[in-house]
Structure 1
Amino acid sequence: MEDLLLKCDVHSNNNLGMFCQDHSQLCCSDCVLMNHRQCSNLDLISESVKTLSVDIQQLSRKIQTTLSELNKFKRTQEASIPSVEGSYNEKQQEIREMRNKLNAALDELENTTLKELYEIKTTLQTSLKKGVDNCSRLNDELQLLGDAVNGLGDESKKELEFIAGRKCLDKIQEAESYLKENPVTVQRSMVFQANTDIVQDLSKHSSLWRFVDSKQSPKKEMNPDQVLTVKSKSYFNVKIASDKKQTCYISGICILPSGETIVADYNNKRVKLLDKHYNIVSSDLEVDSNPQDICQISLSQVAIIFVNSVQFINVINGKLVIGHLLKGYDDTRELPHATLGINYHQGDLYITSGTALYHYTLTQYGKLWKHKKSLYEDTRGGITVYKCAFSPDGDLIFVLNFAQNKLITLTIDGTLISKFTDPELQGPKGLHVTPSGQVIVCGFYSNTVIQVDHERKNKMATLASEKDGLRYPVSVCYNTNTNQIIVGLFASNKISVMELK
């Protein structure tokens, strides 16, 4: 270990012997020769230790802090790898779908153009055929009259000559008028002028998509105390014909980056995919048990938590597809505790049991490895650890205490910071934190959706209440695509959507 410390990081064959105060760098003889010959504060290490000291305990703590940050960053990057792969597959399919749409649009243009071409051809041919028929008729009639006139000339047939003459003059006039109205021209044909604007416009584009970096910095300026103001409220139906229960119970909501919404229906043991406007249930899956909660894992993957297990569900080509069932490290399918809530943060899963918050790591083999002890525990009676959420920077964990009507705030290591209560928060069941850090909580018994300030001391706004028609809210999510808050309800076939100003 001493050899490791004494060796120069740049010139591994040399030992360190000097310290440059000008650059705060340890140096070997080669370092001095190459980079520090002009430095004025260059001393032997044996001399520097007399005037410069190092706090080993503080240094050790700093190392542990830095290691923690590195591991945190590593987990984030590792978690992004499957997310990027999932995004790649999803966008690849979307590009193919766009190409199919372009092909369909071009097919439609082709069919329309061919139809127009056929109609023009038919019109021209009809006109030309009519001209041919008229010419043939006039020709035949004049020919007959000409033959009849040639047989006349007898004095006894003056009246017949007069009649024939008049008929000939009338027919000649008819023919001349027709020729005047339809002058002899060059041969008629169709001229096709291609719409080259389409080709030119397509050639201006180098790609079917504009690719942007989806990386978001957690250091961006946020205002968690910006008050959310509701502009309008509406309700959308989520019940489908195959539901077995009379009403739905939307226990969890998740908004995908694509704008689609996934809801967990506890009553009907179903997971449902809604379109971007919440109007249509475009896909649904019947699951084996009642889904308790849902969280997003990647751009097209979510995790559903049941009574004792976690199931991945993927969105592929606009359809919900069952993924793999997560197993414990001992290959058991059931977790060793009850499960009520789930959240995904920096590659790890955080699961609530009703009385404790557990931290699980997802292994590369798709298994769950539970950290030795719970992050937070409250066994004073009832459901004290219900749902959880994270602050955008990942430094804080928010937990709902349903039994005691509280919003609990913890540090990332589970240390209790604060407890929030309010008369308008009775039976807290739904919890969400916006990308800006605004904390939104649903009160099941108080029939409210409220916003709490970033210090968790005061209620900032009541976003919805019973007087607005809200009854038994149980889940909530913020849609960053549309600036809307979606609320799931107990014993209701609808979700509530609040549009913000």
Structure 2
Amino acid sequence: MMEKTEHKTPSQPRATGMDGVELFNTSCSMCRKKKTLTEGEYHCKFCGVMCENCSAKHQKTPKQTGHWAQQIKRIRQELTTNPTFNSIKKCEIHPSRHIKGYCLDHGELYCNDCVRDRHFDCPLESVEVMSQDVSRETHMIDARNELVDLKRRSKIASKAKNEEIAHMQKQSEKFEVHLRKLRDKLNVIFDDMVKSVLQDRDVFVKAEEKLITKNISECSDLATVLETASTNLDSAFRSGSKPEMWISLKKLERVVTHYDEMVTKIENEKSKVAFEFVSNSHLQGLLEDPENIGKLKITSSRLYGNELTVNDNKIEVKPTRKSKATLPGTKTGIQQDPWKIQRVDTKANGMLPKITALSTNEVSMNTPTTNFRANSRNRVATSSRHDYGGGDKISGPVFGPIKNVKVTYIGRKEIFYPSDTELTCVTGSTFLPNGRLVLIDNHNKNLKLLSGEFELLSSIVLEERPWNITHCYKSVVAVSFPYDNSVDLIATGQDMQIEGKIKTDRSCQGLAYHKTEKWLYIACGKGTDAQIQAYSLEGYLRKVIIAKPGVLIEPLYMTMSDDCTKLFISDVDNGIIGFNTKSGDLISQYKDHRIKRYWDLTVDSDGRLYVVTTEPDSIFVLMGEHNGQLLTEFRAGNKPCSLSYSPIIKSLIVTRWKVEDLEVLRFV
């Protein structure tokens, strides 16, 4: 297709040509000389990018004899902008183009330019096919309700933040009055003290108000986006055109999904500020140093996660509360079926040393012989087995940057409810993006959804005893059932429902979700049958990672790094094992002589790995190359069961075996 419009060269490469050369402009260079624009398909390192017609004429002239043209490889362009709804038929990424259809892999609308940049190898459907079932009555009402609800919540959140500022100012004024009364009683001696304390107060108020004002600004900006979306939605449904209505619904769905997490986060960030003057019990200090007469105590859930005492611009945090604790230590508690997967034997020598760089001397790929469904999109499940040799220690932070990490004990929250027939045993927990906590109770066979304040919102009874849980997308979580060889996908909320089920060929324990591939990684089996299987959420087997004998013995828990490049597995007796999710290569193994049993593990926002252990009953943090440090030790009592990290409240949540509550440890 030829156009006489000027071609603008992108800032990112769109394809690679001969010898891996990055191509920023993929239009035919020969056609451009004729002042026409044609999309290129082939690349010659001497002649540049060529379309199919020009490539056919290539090498036919004496000047081009010996040239070789190779088909270019497209590079998928990632989206970097927020979803908008500025028009109905036009593409939001390429405003000059019209919407042509819908990408089934990415769940996105596309135009011709989108196909070239992002969806060139994806299964696509036209707008006419996808919009056949659009209903003016049903879909319009649902879409309108979603939009109205988001606008209402955004407005309420903005108003609440203004009220927080007003309340903080009122508390600040009362605090100042209180201080001035004390100054009047003690006259001139308190003048210097009041000046110092109020200076600290003003610094805090300014910083706190800045954070709240940012939330207000975000809500104000969102109001404009939502108003535009509302206008275009009305216009689309007034037109009566099914394609326009369907496109509007899809665009609105992306807008609502994207901004819902932002509004939810603003709603959960409730700032409760209180000012209190703490008197110094040693009055003798007043005669020696008037600044020691007292200090400012600030209670805030936004800027500071603890109660802080501020004096001379120094912050003193209350000392960490230490305790001791043990996890259930049965090794035979998980059943498995004697299924086998065809594997290629390799010659591996000895155990893997602690944190070593490993070379893949022999890699074999084959199709598993289990009874899984074939993929309708021609993706083949692969099984990889590697022969590992010794090597040097890995350079760079495998487990995230080294930092002096400390936690403080916040308190306990009861999770035993009247519907529970036995003492709770939470063997798995995970946080949703909106700050809610999801727990699975192995003894009572149920799933519980808790609010950000750890209050029960809803629950669902499960048919089998669950073991582990992980968040997949939106409010959907995956729950493993080792005795049933299955994983359930459950949509959490006030009305919980099971959206799908994945069946495996052996017992399944640990779970981790790959956000980029959209695959669920499952730790299956134990002993010689232990392996990592990756499934699509539709239940298709996509990948199998089979480690060298002795690396995986009894894998119980898994977690994924934020960039989804590293998969960490907690093997109850063999330590923490790390795999590269793309190649399946073993990249690390951490085993400490002080630790006998390894259980649940989680990763914080910076990539540091936390693992709960028994014998000793504690939490260890892994940083840098192999720097394992004791984070905290539990007090005597029941053994710990699960561990999860909340990036919103910057805390670790720990549950124990057969107890009625959970424990909160906050980072200092």
Q: TM-score range by the shorter chain?
A: 0.5 to 0.7
Asked if residue 410 in structure 1 is aligned to residue 579 in structure 2, the reply is: yes
* Distance (whole Å) between structure 2 residues aligned to residue 79 and residue 475 of structure 1: 34
Q: Does 1:476 align with 2:476?
A: no
Q: Which amino acid aligns with 1:369?
A: Y
Query: Which residue is equivalent to 1:140?
Result: none
> Are 2:519 and 1:348 aligned?
yes
Deviations 1:10-47 (A, max 9, x none): 659999999676xx72569x99xxxxxxxxxxx94437
1:46 aligns with 2:46: no
1:235 to 412, 416, 419: 412
Q: Please state if 1:95 is matched with 2:269.
A: no
Relative to structure 1, the CA distance from residue 433 to residue 240 in structure 2 (aligned partners, 3 Å threshold; closer, same or farther) is: same
Q: Distance in 1 between matches of 2:403 and 2:39?
A: 58
Quick one: structure 1 residues 18 and 224, their matched pair in 2 at CA, closer, same or farther if it must change by over 3 Å?
A: closer
Partner of 1:260: 436
* Residues 139-169 of structure 1, C-alpha deviations (whole Å, 9 max, x = no match): xxxxxxxxxxxxxxxxxxxxxxxxxxxxxxx
Asked whether 1:498 is paired with 2:665, we answer: yes
Task: Measure, in 1, the Cα distance between the counterparts of 2:511 and 2:42.
Answer: 54
What does residue 491 of structure 2 align with?
Answer: 314
- How much does 1:336 deviate? 1.1
The 2-side partners of 1:303 and 1:93 are apart by 30
1:69-105 deviation digits (Å, cap 9, x = unpaired): 86999xxx977649xxxxx999658537749979xx9
Structure 2 counterpart of 1:271, from 438, 447, 470: 447
Q: Where does residue 421 of structure 1 map in the other structure?
A: 591
* Mapping of residues 78-477 of structure 1, within 5 Å: 81=107, 92=147, 94-95=149-150, 98=153, 206=224, 224-245=401-422, 247-278=423-454, 280-307=455-482, 308-316=485-493, 319-327=494-502, 334-345=503-514, 346-355=517-526, 356-362=530-536, 366=538, 368-371=539-542, 374-377=544-547, 380=550, 383-404=553-574, 406-412=575-581, 413-455=583-625, 457-459=626-628, 461-467=629-635, 471-477=638-644
1:208 shift after superposition: 7.7
Q: How many Å separate the matches in 2 of 1:338 and 1:321? A: 25
Residue deviations 1:366-422 (CA, integer Å, cap 9, x gap): 3x11246x3034665995222222222222211111123x11111223222221112
SS of aligned partner of 1:277: coil
- Where 1:272 maps in the other structure, the secondary structure is strand
C-alpha distance in 2, partners of 1:477/1:90? Answer: 34
Aligned-partner SS, 1:323: strand
Q: Percent identity?
A: 18
- Whether contact under 8 Å (1:274, 1:282) holds in the other structure is yes
Instruction: Show structure 1 runs of 5+ residues with no match.
Output: 32-42, 83-87, 106-201, 216-221, 328-333
The equivalent of 2:656 in structure 1 is: 489
Change (3 A) 1:387 1:243: same
1:437, distance to aligned residue in structure 2 (A): 0.9
| C-alpha distance in structure 1 between counterparts of 2:649 and 2:638, whole Å | 24
Q: Cα–Cα, structure 1 residues 90 and 392, in superposed 2: closer, same or farther, change >3 Å?
A: farther
Instruction: Provide, for residues 166-220 of structure 1, a one-character-per-residue CA deviation record: whole Å limited to 9, x for no partner.
Output: xxxxxxxxxxxxxxxxxxxxxxxxxxxxxxxxxxxx9x965789987779xxxxx
The CA distance in 2 between the partners of 1:382 and 1:13, in whole Å, is 54
**2:600 is paired with a residue of what secondary structure?**
strand
Which deviations, in whole Å up to 9, do the C-alpha atoms of 1:251-310 show, x marking residues without a partner? 1111111111111111110100111111x2121111111111111111211111112111
Q: Deviations over 1:93-142 (max 9, x none)?
A: 8537749979xx9xxxxxxxxxxxxxxxxxxxxxxxxxxxxxxxxxxxxx
Give the counterpart letter for 2:643 in structure 1.
V
Distance 1:98 1:397 in 2: 37
The answer on whether the counterparts of 1:271 and 1:286 sit within 8 Å (CA) in structure 2 is yes
Contact kept? 1:487, 1:497, Cα under 8 Å = yes
Are 2:567 and 2:578, in contact at CA under 8 Å, matched by a contact in 1? Answer: yes
SS at the partner of 2:555? Answer: coil
Give the direction of change, closer, same or farther, for the CA distance of 1:340–1:89 in structure 2 (3 Å limit). farther
Code of the aligned partner of 1:465: E
Tell me the distance in 2 between the aligned counterparts of 1:337 and 1:18. 48
Greater radius of gyration (CA)? 1
Distance 2:624 2:650 in 1: 20
CA pair 46-250 structure 1, distance change in 2 beyond 3 A? same
Question: How well do the aligned residues superpose, as a CA RMSD in angstroms?
Answer: 4.7
SS of 1:224's partner is coil
Q: Alpha carbons of 1:424 and 1:282: their partners in 2 closer, same or farther (altered >3 Å)?
A: farther
Larger mean CA deviation between 10-19 and 426-435 belongs to 10-19
Q: Is the 8 A contact 1:449 1:473 kept in 2?
A: no
Per-residue CA distance 1:219-248 (angstroms, 9 max, x = gap):
xxx953334321333221111111011x21
- For structure 2, the 5+ residue unaligned runs are 1-17, 19-26, 32-36, 55-61, 80-102, 109-142, 161-219, 228-254, 263-398
Q: Distance in 1 between matches of 2:428 and 2:489?
A: 14
Aligned to 1:25: 48
The CA distance in 1 between the partners of 2:498 and 2:532, in whole Å, is 23
1:122 corresponds in structure 2 to none
Shift of 1:435: 2.7
SS of 2:150's partner is: helix
In structure 2, relative to structure 1, the CA distance for the partners of 1:312 and 1:415 (3 Å cut) is: same
Counterpart contact for 2:467–2:509, Cα < 8 Å: yes
C-alpha distance in 2 between matches for 1:264 and 1:18 = 55
Q: CA deviation at 1:446?
A: 2.0
Q: Distance in 1 between matches of 2:521 and 2:145?
A: 26
What's 1:139 paired with?
none
**Count of residue pairs brought into register by the alignment:** 341
Q: Is the 8 A contact 1:409 1:418 kept in 2?
A: yes
